[in-house]
Amino acid sequence: MNKKIEIYIACGSGIATSTVVQEKVKQILAQSNIQASITKGNINQIPSKAETVDLILVTTRYVKPVKVPILPVFSLISGINEEQTAQKIVEECHRIIKGDKNGSCIISYSKHHGYGGIGYATRCHFYFKLCL
């Protein structure tokens, strides 16, 4: 029996883009036969939600450290690289199901944030693969 993954989707207000992403994530997970409980809210709730979920998906920039994986998913709204984002979500869910505690956490940092590290650039953000 597969583990049911707890996912939190956060956007600026917790209403608009998180709702659209929630529906797309449901479809992505259903196609991959992954069971999940998905809640949504705003970006300010991440610190408290991080204690009770397995994965956090964000539609906006979030730079504070948490102990669960965070994936930027704005591409599910824009349509740019949507398939790659869907694949990352599925891969991270499979990692969680397997109980891999040494998996990746992908966090977005603004170019202006000044974070020094290895990442790859996109239009607005650098993405860093970190191990927690």
Q: In the chain, what are the domains?
A: 5-131 (3.40.50.2300)
Provide mean pLDDT across the span 5-17: 92
Close Cβ partners of 83 (under 8 Å, ≥ 6 residues apart): none
Model confidence, pTM: 0.77
CB atoms within 10 A of CB 15: 11
Label residue 103 by pLDDT band (50, 70, 90): low
CA distance linking residue 106 with residue 59, whole number of Å: 13
Amino acid 127: pLDDT? 40
